[in-house]
Amino acid sequence: PIIFSIFLSATFTPDQNLLNYEKPSIPDASAATRHLAINPPELMEQRDFLLDEIRKFGQMLLGLIGKLQHSRATMQYDFNLSTADLEFKNEAGFTLKMLIEMDSSSLEAFLANHHELDSENTELLADLLIEIAHDPGINPHTCLARARELLVYVDARERTYSMERTGKIAFLESSEG
C-alpha cells in the first residue's frame, strides 16, 4: 500500500483526475505498412537476385585467376582467352577484349551499368587483367593501363584504404613509365 501510494503521487498531481487520464496514442497501422510500400517483397527478391549475380561473377573471376595461376605453375599453359571471353559474355554480357579495348571516357559508365562489378569484383577483374597482360593476342600496355584504371576507380569509391590496392596501382604506374 505504501509503495503504491508513492508511485501514484510521483505519477499524478493531486489536481489530475485518474479517470480522465489519456493513454498514449498507438501509431496507426499505416505506419507499420509503409515499410512494405517502400520495400515490397519483389524488390527484396530483386536485391537477392543481384547479390547472387555478384557472387556468381566473383566466383567465375576467382576460377579464371586460379586456372591461370595453376597452368603457369605447372608449366602446362592451357588458359584460353577466347574461352574466358565466352565465359564473360555468358555471365556478364561483355568480353575481356571489349573491356581492354574500350576507350577510357566510357569506362565509368560501363562499370556503373554492370551491377556484378562491385568493388571486390572490379578489383578481381583488374587482377585478372594483370595476369593475362602478356598473353598472346593482348597488348600488354593497354591491358595494364586498363587494370590501373579499374583499381583507381575502386580506390576512389571505397571508404576503406587498401595497402594492397595502393601497391598494385603504384606498380602499374611505375611499369607504364
- Where would I find the beta strands (DSSP E) of the chain? none
Q: What does the pLDDT read at residue 38?
A: 53
Say what the pLDDT of residue 165 is: 94
Tens digit of pLDDT per residue, the chain (177 long)?
444 444 444 444 455 544 554 544 444 444 444 444 555 667 777 778 888 888 888 888 888 888 777 776 776 655 677 888 888 888 888 898 899 999 998 999 999 888 888 999 999 999 999 988 888 778 899 999 999 999 999 999 998 899 999 999 999 999 876
Query: Looking at residue 115, what is its pLDDT?
Result: 84
How many Cα atoms sit within 13 Å of 7 on the Cβ side? 4
pLDDT at 91: 85
Specify the pLDDT at position 177: 61
What pLDDT, on a 0 to 100 scale, did the predictor assign at position 15? 52
- pLDDT score of 54: 86
Burial 42-70 (b: 16+ CB within 10 A, else e): eeeeeeeeeeeebeebbebbeebbeebee
* Residue 161: strand, helix, or coil: coil
DSSP letters along 16-47, please? S-GGGPPPPPPPPHHHHHHHHHHS-HHHHHHH
Q: What is the pLDDT of residue 156?
A: 93
